[in-house]
Structure 1
Amino acid sequence: MEQIVGHRHSWAVTGMDCGSCAARIDTALGRLAGVSDVQVTVMAQRMSLQLDPALTAPEEVEATVRKLGFGVARADQTADRAAPAAPPAEPAWHSTAKGRLVILTGLLLAAAWAVKLSGASETLSELTFAAAGVIGVIPVARRAWGALRGGVPFTIEALMTIAAIGAVIIGAVEEAALVVFLFAVGEVLEGLAASRARAGIRALADVMPKTALRMAKDGTVRQVDAATLAPGEAVLVRPGDRIPADGCITSGRSGVDESPVTGESMPREKGPGDTVHAGTINGDAALSVRVTRAGADNTIARIIAMVEEAEASRAPTERFIDRFARYYMPAVVLAALLVAVLPPLLGGGDWDTWIYRALALLLIGCPCALVISVPASISSALSAGARRGLLIKGGAVIEAMARARHVAFDKTGTLTEGRPVVTDTVALAAPEAELLAIAAAVEGASGHPLARAIVARAEARGITPLPARDARALPGLGAEATIKDRRITVGAPRLAQEMGVLDGAARARAAQLEAAGKTVVVIFDEAAALGLIALRDEPRADATQALGALHGMGMGTV
């Protein structure tokens, strides 16, 4: 096995929009001495490689990337593989170099057509078309020249440059300007699609807290950078805080909102021995958590890594076009060359005529429409999905969806509203209105979804909560408060049973409601159960219609 020499270095790379950009960088850097294990991630806009500085300096690597037309900045000096980093915020498309190029060439094209249609000056319109073509092709030609110097001669930029220059030579300046403009539009669309994907990665990274409360062995607590946490360390997670690392609860009991990671809308009650995930939100009680995974390997970091891998996987059609272009572009250039030289040499044809025809072949053979069609269609599909609340991770997923025959649903928040509502109120030792007034009073200060649902039901019924004092949460069990000198508890049936206030009939009724998929809470005092309240995340109004539409398309649902 070849021994890897040197250190691993990483850079932030800007201007990459698709897998072919990464492939060009990989190919060019692979030709440098002392460079190995090149990894380029388009979505994270990051490049890392193993480098032997005795053979190639980091500055030479940066110069090679810049020659290809990409921006590059040193991310660190000697980096090992770390947690996937969120890509930086990006400017609006119209403020990028490619966006400004599209706007400028588009305005010049519009001006040239206006002059041409007005009949004012044919020369002026030709000059304007020529200006649009030249201005548009300059950055493309620079990238083609950089790729050529990097050992990648046959690129779409090279063919676009030859075709545009050829069109100007044969006098087809309008066609040259239009071809360059359409190519620039295609690049902007690719950039928009990549930008949307990177925005999704940034949203994932934002789930992670930046700081954590690390607990020393002597019990002191100090705020530290969450990325520095190591397995075995203990952290304190206050109510309402995000959990800073994957870990295991050592003390405390609380409801944990796992929706940022799993999408599940209902908090899960967790206590000592239970695992918790980085980025989830602690509920109503403090937790002590022992870290089990470093920041580079926590749940959010692994999700980001999987998203980046998914984004890097190009759609099958894109991969086919990429393979096709490897042979198509050299074939078109060779065919044009043969058209230019063979007829004059072998048949005595006119050199000017056949050179003109060869340049026309180059112009016609430019795969501009083919190059634009895939990113444009993918961008359109991503936009349409986003408007409908769908996060689609790249073109490969879009093409796979077209072949899907079954749809599996996670009901919570998809087929349901994503929030619990009161479905049943069972009065036992108090009238229904009084039961709701008591329950709303106990739960009034709680932020738990079940508590909010009970308060909302009382408000909807026009019921005013009774005055309450000394309210406190019972982590993982419920809440209690003093009302009219009675200690009232709103809690789980098991708590009421432990307190000895739930008789057989009430237990049977609670079991019946739970069998129907509902969550049951018991309102009770020191002596008896006052009543039951059942809650459930109800189906969305349009869920049945959506499932029917899928069945009508021949799709199965699970």
Structure 2
Amino acid sequence: MGHCCHHHHSKEHAAGHRHHAGCAPRSEPAPCGAVPTAAETAQGPDGPPSDEEDDRRGSRHHWRIAGMDCPSCAAKIETAVRRLPGVQSAEVRFATERLLVRLAPPGNPAEVEQAIIAAGFTPLTAPRAPLPAPTPWWRSQLDILTLLALMLAAALSGLLSPPLGQALFTLATLWGLVPIARQAWRLARSGSPFSIETLMTVAATGALFLGETAEAAMVLLLFMVGEKLESLAASRARKGVKALMALVPEQARRLTADGPVEVGAAELVPGDRIEVHPGGRLPADGELLTPLAAFDESAVTGESLPVERKEGERLAAGSLVVDVPVQLRVTSEPGDNTVDRILHLMEQADANRAPIARFIERFSRWYTPAMMLAALLVILLPPLAFGADWQTWIYRGLALLLIGCPCALVISTPAAVTSALAAATRLGVLIKGGAALEQLGRIDTLAFDKTGTLTQGRPALSELKAYPPAEHRQALALAAGLEAGSHHPLARALVAAAEERGLAPASVDDKRTLAGAGMEGRWQGQAMLLCSPAHLPDAWLTQEQHRDLARLRAGGHTLVVLALGQSVLALFALNDRLRDDAEDGIATLKALNIDCLMLTGDHDQAAARIAGQLGIGYRAGLRPEDKLAEVERLGRTHSLAMVGDGINDAPALRRASVGIAMGQGTDVALDNADVALSHNRLTGLADAIRLSRATHANIRQNVTLALGLKAIFLVTSLTGLTGLWLAVLADTGATALVTLNALRLLRFRGG
């Protein structure tokens, strides 16, 4: 639902905030409640402002905020803080739960904290919040369960004793209404008098006043369920920060004159020498000191295959060491490594993306006060100005208030959205809330990551060239024998190819890994080598083999050669294959008039091969910041969705109008996306877009129905043609019709 809940369930929120400890620097906390993330210390491309600039522009302060369930919460906090004297700017980053405030001298951060608390939210000043004890699920849902129990008791009691049923429905309504009314009052005092909480308070109070207690309780129940779902989606989305920070290990092995020492990764400074063993991730950006080594950089760059790096090359934090222990010289400042910068990009993208203001939220800003004022004028003006009968006009004013009671209008959008989200889940598409569902139907361009999104994300043997005296099966058996037991993705691909053809790996002696180069061994007394062509002397290759190498390189393949003695026996071409459903998925999207484009960190030849097979455009060699820039550029002229599965896609997923993650993708991609394909089928994209467009139509029908009936009965009630009971029927009837219309979306089936 498009609104924020009453914030009396603070424990539940606190539980969802503890993971942000990972964002804070591991050094001592900053003063004044400031809790900068590691990424923030980088201060972006321009660096931190000078002291002189700080004096001129005011001092900067940062808080983490507990209790935000949706982007409109963020707007309410900004409104409350901006009203304070001395506040030059206030901006809430909803995804990372941070408030950034600039205060003019002599600004008082304590006043900001008081304003946040007064608005019903909690400023967190500790860089590492203690882990709260887990609470049973029923305790966090106690408010909804109690309201539901009271409503069931009221309904059953009403069958035996209508007055008792009425009394219990009144009690149920008051139970649900009090916390919402309290939050409405807090927000009114903080500068947001006509929030959705105000709307709900007026609706429920009006229904109570006219005796429609059952309807009042039902509206409150639906509102509270929607709030819980919103809260769940928000806490789930924030897990991405924790998963991203987990890429960088907490500890590092620093090499000193007295030997290796275990230190905290935050203590590393440029110039430190560190050592990382195979299977470990780099705790900082660094320059390689080891002659040759292979690294899996897929989490950071999206490159699907391990990359060989030579001495002197730069490496990114979070990269995984594949084959041999390595030594590096640290090049990044604390809090400014590659992963920190990706986190910073995610935050910037979130800040630049204006949250979609929901229709009801905008509408309620003038609708609620207008209807309350109109009802008051109907009650007061005729008797005072024309001496009309007070009882008659009080009766008509109450009828107007009930007609103005926005129950059907409040339910119209969330009922359709809830039905659509349920239908989407059945189709294997997880959509995180109504804003994403709304935006999905408007997109006209889809940008795809390549690795793991359009392709399978793992190498497979695509072509094998064997040269006399070897033949295909023998060459593959020899390669599999040499690579058996290796965890390198290329080795696994060759072993898997042999298994698919029913070949037993050949028996190879004296097997040995060549750091960053390949494998060597002995077969029938001769030296055998399996490596990249770059590691072979040119004299070992014939002219025919040189031609084959050039042809396969041009096709974007990864190449491996098998040499026996000093002659090449075979050439293996491997690549990342298209997903089975990629062509069908792109075709269905084109049928919906959606342009498709591929954005990848892979090299140009590999990107051209995949894009050519699918008939779409592409941009290759993109780093995370390049992807983000490309998404921003495209987003200026198109309604753009981004589909990805890697950590490097997270900033672009967050910046796009809609971010879509593949179900098998990394936690960071899933948590920063608005939509996730749980079944992992690209054909689900077209289903999700069709469903979104159907939901748009359904919401328009609902709003027209709700407002149309109100307009008709507004006229008839003021002229006295219809009485109070028909006004009640109009409101409850509209609510029922809107709900039934929304339920039609549950029957939606994919194309």
TM-score class normalised by the smaller sequence: 0.7 to 0.9
Per-residue Cα deviation, 1:214-237 (whole angstroms, up to 9, x for no partner): 344x48433222234334444333
Other-structure match for 1:256: 295
Residue 254 of structure 1: how far off its partner (Å)? 2.4
For the structure 1 residues 379 and 331, does the alpha-carbon distance in structure 2 shift closer, same or farther, using more than 3 Å as the test? same
1:187-198 alignment, distance < 5 Å: 187-198=227-238
SS of 1:442's equivalent in the other structure is helix
Per-residue Cα deviation, 1:246-290 (whole angstroms, up to 9, x for no partner): 344344432222222233322222223433222222221333334
Considering Cα pairs closer than 8 Å and 6+ residues apart, tell me whether 1 or 2 has the greater RCO: 2
Other-structure match for 1:101: 143
Residue 491 of structure 1: how far off its partner (Å)? 0.6
The 10-residue stretch of structure 1 (278-287 or 462-471) with the greater mean CA deviation from structure 2: 462-471
In the aligned structure 2, how far is the partner of 1:259 from the partner of 1:86?
Answer: 32
Other-structure match for 1:241: 280
The 10-residue stretch of structure 1 (405-414 or 535-544) with the greater mean CA deviation from structure 2: 405-414
In the aligned structure 1, how far is the partner of 2:401 from the partner of 2:277?
Answer: 67
SS of 2:263's equivalent in the other structure is strand
Conserved 8 A contact 1:183-1:368: no
1:122-201 alignment, distance < 5 Å: 122-201=162-241
Conserved 8 A contact 1:311-1:394: no
In the aligned structure 2, how far is the partner of 1:406 from the partner of 1:425?
Answer: 38
TM-score norm. by structure 2 comes to: 0.64
Conserved 8 A contact 1:251-1:272: yes
Other-structure match for 1:81: none
The 10-residue stretch of structure 1 (357-366 or 481-490) with the greater mean CA deviation from structure 2: 357-366
Identify unmatched segments of 5+ residues in structure 2: 1-52, 597-615, 617-751
Other-structure match for 1:82: none
Conserved 8 A contact 2:202-2:405: no
1:213 to 238, 253, 270: 253
SS of 2:318's equivalent in the other structure is coil
For the structure 1 residues 41 and 362, does the alpha-carbon distance in structure 2 shift closer, same or farther, using more than 3 Å as the test? farther
In the aligned structure 2, how far is the partner of 1:134 from the partner of 1:509?
Answer: 80
1:420-435 alignment, distance < 5 Å: 420-428=459-467, 429-435=469-475
Other-structure match for 1:204: 244
Query: How many equivalent pairs are there?
Result: 544
Other-structure match for 2:368: 329
Conserved 8 A contact 2:147-2:176: yes
Residues 1:529 and 2:529 are matched in the alignment = no
Q: What is the letter of the counterpart of residue 40 of structure 1?
A: V
Residue 318 of structure 1: how far off its partner (Å)? 1.9
Other-structure match for 1:29: 81
For the structure 1 residues 215 and 364, does the alpha-carbon distance in structure 2 shift closer, same or farther, using more than 3 Å as the test? farther
Residue 398 of structure 1: how far off its partner (Å)? 5.4
Other-structure match for 2:95: 43
For the structure 1 residues 347 and 174, does the alpha-carbon distance in structure 2 shift closer, same or farther, using more than 3 Å as the test? farther
For the structure 1 residues 36 and 93, does the alpha-carbon distance in structure 2 shift closer, same or farther, using more than 3 Å as the test? farther
Conserved 8 A contact 2:482-2:519: yes
For the structure 1 residues 463 and 404, does the alpha-carbon distance in structure 2 shift closer, same or farther, using more than 3 Å as the test? same
Conserved 8 A contact 2:207-2:405: no
Residue 48 of structure 1: how far off its partner (Å)? 4.6
Residue 134 of structure 1: how far off its partner (Å)? 0.5
In the aligned structure 2, how far is the partner of 1:359 from the partner of 1:306?
Answer: 53
Residue 88 of structure 1: how far off its partner (Å)? 8.8
In the aligned structure 2, how far is the partner of 1:305 from the partner of 1:233?
Answer: 24
Q: What is the letter of the counterpart of residue 550 of structure 1?
A: L
For the structure 1 residues 398 and 122, does the alpha-carbon distance in structure 2 shift closer, same or farther, using more than 3 Å as the test? closer
Other-structure match for 2:155: 113
1:73 to 116, 124, 137: 124
For the structure 1 residues 513 and 41, does the alpha-carbon distance in structure 2 shift closer, same or farther, using more than 3 Å as the test? closer
Conserved 8 A contact 2:203-2:406: no
In the aligned structure 2, how far is the partner of 1:65 from the partner of 1:366?
Answer: 30
For the structure 1 residues 325 and 506, does the alpha-carbon distance in structure 2 shift closer, same or farther, using more than 3 Å as the test? same
In the aligned structure 1, how far is the partner of 2:244 from the partner of 2:499?
Answer: 36
1:435-474 alignment, distance < 5 Å: 435-474=475-514
1:290-329 alignment, distance < 5 Å: 290-311=329-350, 317-318=356-357, 321-329=360-368
1:416 to 455, 458, 464: 455
For the structure 1 residues 510 and 301, does the alpha-carbon distance in structure 2 shift closer, same or farther, using more than 3 Å as the test? same
Other-structure match for 1:15: 67
Q: What is the letter of the counterpart of residue 153 of structure 1?
A: P
In the aligned structure 1, how far is the partner of 2:280 from the partner of 2:205?
Answer: 60
Residue 345 of structure 1: how far off its partner (Å)? 1.7
RMSD: 3.7
Other-structure match for 1:80: none
TM-score norm. by structure 1 comes to: 0.84
Conserved 8 A contact 1:87-1:201: no
Residue 368 of structure 1: how far off its partner (Å)? 5.3
SS of 2:278's equivalent in the other structure is coil
Conserved 8 A contact 2:559-2:574: yes
Per-residue Cα deviation, 1:430-456 (whole angstroms, up to 9, x for no partner): 343332232122212322111001111
SS of 2:177's equivalent in the other structure is helix
Conserved 8 A contact 2:293-2:309: yes
Residue 35 of structure 1: how far off its partner (Å)? 5.3
SS of 2:323's equivalent in the other structure is coil
Other-structure match for 1:512: 551
Residue 9 of structure 1: how far off its partner (Å)? 5.0
Residue 302 of structure 1: how far off its partner (Å)? 3.2
For the structure 1 residues 329 and 241, does the alpha-carbon distance in structure 2 shift closer, same or farther, using more than 3 Å as the test? same
1:343-362 alignment, distance < 5 Å: 343-362=382-401
Residue 461 of structure 1: how far off its partner (Å)? 2.9
The 10-residue stretch of structure 1 (26-35 or 474-483) with the greater mean CA deviation from structure 2: 26-35
In the aligned structure 2, how far is the partner of 1:115 from the partner of 1:516?
Answer: 76
Identify unmatched segments of 5+ residues in structure 1: 77-84
Residue 8 of structure 1: how far off its partner (Å)? 5.3
Per-residue Cα deviation, 1:133-178 (whole angstroms, up to 9, x for no partner): 1110111111122223334333221232233223222222122212
